[in-house]
Structure 1
Amino acid sequence: MEAIEQTLKCPVCMDFFTDPVLLPCGHNFCRTCICTVWGVDVGGEGSDGPLFCPECQIFLP
């Protein structure tokens, strides 16, 4: 049961997903968490740098 719980938790905040986002690499995050990591507002504005997955470190297109 614990393994299933872990698949439903955001690796950034370690809580259950809220407004989940699936990145092209297949990893999931809360929308607020991934925006915070990327330094963008929730609408997607603000970062001029490359976006990446915090889990696998792959840069996203």
Structure 2
Amino acid sequence: MSDTGDVTLFAPIKQKQCANCGVLFACGQTEPNGACWCNNVPAVLAPDPAKNCLCRVCLKAYVIEL
């Protein structure tokens, strides 16, 4: 039996900076299953589409604020 050396490559986890508070966080869209934590938050329009995503804390606060 021999090792075929098969390697599965995934895209590196993308770091984003929250447009609201500035904290760095990982974007799950680049994970193997493409499932980001933000998919579990109700879909809302971005406060400013020209800016980066919001971190988990700021996005949840934004959803509650609406």
Give the alignment's TM-score, normalised by structure 1.
0.29
Greater C-alpha Rg: 2
* Structure of higher RCO (CA pairs closer than 8 Å, 6+ residues apart): 2
Give me the TM-score of the superposition, normalised by structure 2: 0.28
